[in-house]
A and B are shown apart, each in its own frame.
Chain A
């Protein structure tokens, strides 16, 4: 199981955000995408999850082009974007129940357990619009815990989350990687994941990958 990006390129208004972008992520790996504002991090993540089509290049999930085999890929990829994807007029429980119904998972899920794990126990029945930005972010992360997806694509997951929440999320990511999951994330925050296979991809003038 792996995600392979081959010669990805994308241009916005005649300005190339990236060209010839290549990388591979295998099970158990975490990739952080770095770069200054406007360098195309969010665009790259949206391309990776299939919301935008790249101008060139291909993305393969388990050797299948994700454009051709959408079903298998959408079963295996989970995305948290800039917006949390939560309905303000629903409670965290209702939001999680819908995401579960939309996923193809037949397993029993425990929204309570997931909320407990992200430190949102006790807020199950409060409407999401009354929660703070950081709390909503945590509920969005609880959605990941309930999905069978192997690949997590997270756009700035640490935004608005407090210090304790950051280390909690780091341990959730570590746990996911240890269970043969993979994570692609963008962050301006120094991500502290000592125990796992961690690499960074820097977008900007020169595109290069560094391995630790």
Chain B
């Protein structure tokens, strides 16, 4: 546990010292979402139908943009080797890495979402559901994305491969996330979607750290 907090703290400290770089994914998120009313139509009746979908797609792309950095610098400067060789359970350390990533990229997205929802005329009363799906979904994006990065970090040009690897795994999260809000707009019950997303979160929270650790061992050798 000591190692978990130490690694988490270090990653948050590093993120704080590279604040400029850190703001990138969030700026991207805000820009993508705010361009939609300009490009499509400022008409509230059109916007409110696609608000949830736009926010979800932007959140997904912004995670995809930032996830590659999760192991890159550790791999380049040799700290990854030190992490792999230390006598601590590797999945726990991987969980610390992903938690740090989510705290600095996923959480800010959720925080600015109410503002963007206003911009897109998200139907009243569905903001809570949207926030909840993002809260359940973005950690899954970080966890699953980290597996892809762990597999490709040793390759010189892994960017394209990374996208191909993790995009199919991202789609269920996107579908259920956006669908839950859509259903809530129509006044339908969304318990099913929320349970499914919670299930995905629990599944990736327990299994992804194992997969990330094993993938990194392969990448480093």
Contact = CB atoms under 8 A, between A and B. Distances in A.
Q: Is the interface of B mostly helix, strand, loop or mixed?
A: helix
Contacts of B3: 101-102
B88 A84 contact: no
Interface stretch (B13-21, B143-151, B192-200, B202-210): B13-21
A75 B87 CA distance: 6
Interface of A: 46, 49-53, 71, 74-75, 77, 79, 81-90, 94, 97-99, 101-104
12 contacts: A51-B84, A51-B85, A51-B221, A74-B85, A77-B85, A79-B81, A83-B77, A83-B78, A85-B79, A85-B81, A86-B78, A102-B93
- Interface majority SS (helix, strand, loop, mixed), chain A: loop
Contact of B221 (A52, A74, A79, A90): A52
Given A52-B221, A89-B14, A98-B6, A74 B81 contact: no
Q: Which of A75, A87, A90 gathers most chain B CB within 10 Å?
A: A87
Contacts of A87: 10, 14, 73, 77, 79
B7 A98 contact: yes
B10 A103 contact: no
A191 B88 CA distance: 33
A50 B85 contact: yes
Q: Which 10 A-B pairs have the closest CB atoms?
A: A83-B78, A101-B6, A85-B78, A102-B86, A74-B87, A52-B221, A85-B82, A75-B87, A104-B87, A89-B17
Interface of B: 2-3, 5-7, 10, 13-14, 17-18, 73, 76-79, 81-88, 93, 220-221
Nearest to A153: B85
Given A90-B14, A97-B6, A102 B88 contact: yes
Nearest to B2: A101
A71 B87 CA distance: 6
Contacts of B7: 98, 101-102
B14 A84 contact: no
Nearest to A89: B17
A88 B10 CA distance: 12
A102 B82 contact: yes
Contacts of B79: 85-87
A210 B81 CA distance: 31
A89 B76 contact: no
Contact of B86 (A52, A74, A84): A74
